[in-house]
Amino acid sequence: MSMKKSAYSIRGYVITLAIGWTLVVIASLAWNFLQLRQHEENEAYGRAAAVYESDITYRRWNAGHGGVYVPVTAKMQPNPYFKDIPERDIKTTDGRSFTLVNPAFMMRQVHELVLKEGGGTGHLTSLNPLRPENRPDVWEVEALKAFEKGVSEFKYIKKRNNGKRYMRLMRPLVTEEECLKCHAKQGYKLGDIRGGISTEVLVLPLMDDMRISLLFGHGAIWILVLSIILIGGGKQEITERELSKYRDHLENLVEDRTVELESKNNELKQFAHTVSHDLKTPLSGVLGYLECLIEDLKKQRYEEVMRDALRTKDIAKKMNQMIDRILTLAKSGEIVDLAMRISMKDIVQEVIYFTATGSGKKKIDIKISNELPEVSGDKVRLIQVVQNLISNAIKYMGDQQKPCIEIGSYKEKNENVFFVKDNGIGIEAKYKDEIFSLFRQLRHGSAGIGAGLAIVKRIIEVHGGRIWAESDGVGKGSTFYFTFPL
């Protein structure tokens, strides 16, 4: 009996939970639909109010001029309700006939034109209209009576036989000085409510796509959670073997993630520490220009002093930027600005400006292809790549009498392939892979700590590319290739 009671209890709990969850989803969907409906109605209200404000502006312009005269045509006949107004009709010296159009007459024609073109409709009406066609409908009568009691606005949503909703908005029309010209005979005084302007615009179904998304989204969540409730409620017990297996799985997962996290952290710390290697080249430039500056000061060559000082300042700024980005990388553990479009030609020229001039005693012939394409990546990191490769080419030029560096690119399948080629000391075949290892130097006693190419390799791989080196052997130069996805 106790097992049956327990089963009934679980079943009742599941049913109650399922019903409660269903009601929550229905309530959420209804509330969201109501908000979307309100948004559509607010948008329609704004358009209806704009129509009203336009009508008022037109009326005041016309009234401010005491009406306007327009040519008499078959469609524009003199207004019979103005027959008592002096100079209702006039003729020009050349015999053309004109008739007076007051604000109400003008607005009626504007409303008819807008209605014909499919826009929002407007209706000028009153409880005591001069023109019978301007008499109000049932809703407008209710609104006009409300205006007399101090109500400033009347609106509601009307659904027509075509199934579409329309926003109706009506605001009072207050008697102004210009209005008494035509309406004083009706007994109106300045400031009286003598009627109103009603506007009607279609409530546009702006949120239909959002409704469909909400319906599918709520339906998917409802099914997902309901499935969890039913599956969870239908499962009465879990064996110790299953619990142990699941627990072991979690422990192994946590252990694997912990090892992976520690490895990533150690790699990041090591990278952030060794990346300071890149600061040596601009620092050498600073020291070189400072020596030139001292020499120029001794010889009173002030133009050269200014040049050396400006270049030293430029290199110092560059070092500061590199330090800032290295610190950012150490904290975030990732490359930033990966989607920026960058001109590789501009990067190469910038690196040569800061590196090549003070990197050696011999004149190095540097050839740059005019066809270097743009790539997507982090500009500061790509400068590090090019700076390391060019600096290495200069550093390992050896005793070459006509040192030369060539920088170019070509397309291959889905990649842009760039290369930095030199005629320096070259690389032995057995060291082609080792040169990209951290702290690996193939030539003892050379400057640096062997981190440059390791840094380059990591930056290229983060950008989704590859890097490798080719050389025909010692003394035959070397070429470093790296790729970027198209």
Give the end of a domain, one of 328, 348, 375.
328
Give the end of a domain, one of 187, 208, 229.
208
* Residue at 18 is within a domain: yes
Q: Are residues 324 and 342 in the same domain?
A: no
CATH number at residue 459: 3.30.565.10
Report whether 473 contacts 428 (CB < 8 A): yes
CATH number at residue 23: 3.30.450
Q: Are residues 38 and 127 in the same domain?
A: yes
Q: Are residues 351 and 324 in the same domain?
A: no
- Please, what is the angle between helix 344-355 and helix 302-332, to 10°? 120
Q: Is 193 exposed, middle or buried (0-12, 13-18, 19+ CB in 10 A)?
A: middle
Flag whether pLDDT at 416 surpasses 90.
yes
Amino acid of residue 273: H
Cα(429)–Cα(229) distance, rounded to whole angstroms? 64
Using pLDDT thresholds of 50, 70 and 90, give the confidence band for residue 346.
very high
| Pairing of the two strands 478-485 and 467-470 | antiparallel
**312-322 pLDDT tens trace:** 888 888 777 76
User: In this predicted structure, what is the pLDDT of residue 1?
Assistant: 45
* Bridge partners, residue 405, by sequence: 366, 422
User: In this predicted structure, what is the pLDDT of residue 347?
Assistant: 92
Range with lowest mean pLDDT among 61-75, 295-309, 442-456: 442-456
Q: Are residues 339 and 318 in the same domain?
A: no
Cα(131)–Cα(111) distance, rounded to whole angstroms? 15
Report whether 474 contacts 423 (CB < 8 A): no
Average pLDDT of the residues in 46-74:
82
Q: Are residues 352 and 463 in the same domain?
A: yes
**Residue 271 CA from chain centroid, whole number:** 33
Q: Are residues 350 and 454 in the same domain?
A: yes
Cα(132)–Cα(98) distance, rounded to whole angstroms? 25
Q: Is 252 exposed, middle or buried (0-12, 13-18, 19+ CB in 10 A)?
A: exposed
* Residue at 432 is within a domain: yes
* Residue at 121 is within a domain: yes
Q: Are residues 364 and 458 in the same domain?
A: yes
Using pLDDT thresholds of 50, 70 and 90, give the confidence band for residue 298.
confident
Range with lowest mean pLDDT among 61-75, 172-186, 296-310, 412-426: 172-186
* Residue at 136 is within a domain: yes
* Residue at 222 is within a domain: no
Using pLDDT thresholds of 50, 70 and 90, give the confidence band for residue 439.
very low
Q: Are residues 354 and 255 in the same domain?
A: no
**134-157 pLDDT tens trace:** 788 888 888 888 888 888 888 888
Range with lowest mean pLDDT among 117-126, 303-312, 441-450, 467-476: 441-450
Cα(55)–Cα(122) distance, rounded to whole angstroms? 8
User: Which one has a higher pLDDT value, 254 or 454?
Assistant: 254
* Residue at 230 is within a domain: no
* Residue at 27 is within a domain: yes
Flag whether pLDDT at 308 surpasses 90.
no
Q: Are residues 152 and 201 in the same domain?
A: yes
Give the DSSP per-residue string, 55-96. HHHHHHHHHHTT-EEEE--SS-PPPGGGTTSTTSEEE-TTS-
* Residue at 96 is within a domain: no
> How long, in residues, is the chain?
486
Q: Are residues 299 and 166 in the same domain?
A: no
| Residue 398 DSSP label | T
Which residues, 6+ apart, have CB-to-CB distance to 43 below 8 Å? 203, 204, 206
**101-117 pLDDT tens trace:** 877 778 777 777 766 65
The Cα-based distances of 341 to 335, 338, 360 in angstroms read: 15, 9, 32
| Residue 409 DSSP label | E
pTM value is: 0.38
Amino acid of residue 159: K
**Residue 397 CA from chain centroid, whole number:** 48
Flag whether pLDDT at 207 surpasses 80.
no
**Domain count along the chain:** 3
Give the end of a domain, one of 328, 351, 366.
328
- Please, what is the angle between helix 2-64 and helix 103-116, to 10°? 130
Report whether 429 contacts 447 (CB < 8 A): no
- The closest alpha carbon to 90, from 73, 69, 74, belongs to 69
User: Which one has a higher pLDDT value, 366 or 336?
Assistant: 366
Q: Are residues 307 and 419 in the same domain?
A: no
User: In this predicted structure, what is the pLDDT of residue 438?
Assistant: 52
Flag whether pLDDT at 181 surpasses 70.
no
| Pairing of the two strands 415-422 and 374-376 | unpaired
Q: Are residues 138 and 18 in the same domain?
A: yes
User: Which one has a higher pLDDT value, 187 or 287?
Assistant: 287
Average pLDDT of the residues in 446-457:
66
User: In this predicted structure, what is the pLDDT of residue 361?
Assistant: 55
Domain of residue 295: give its range: 238-328
Amino acid of residue 268: L
Cα(146)–Cα(52) distance, rounded to whole angstroms? 18
Helices (H), 301-343: 302-332
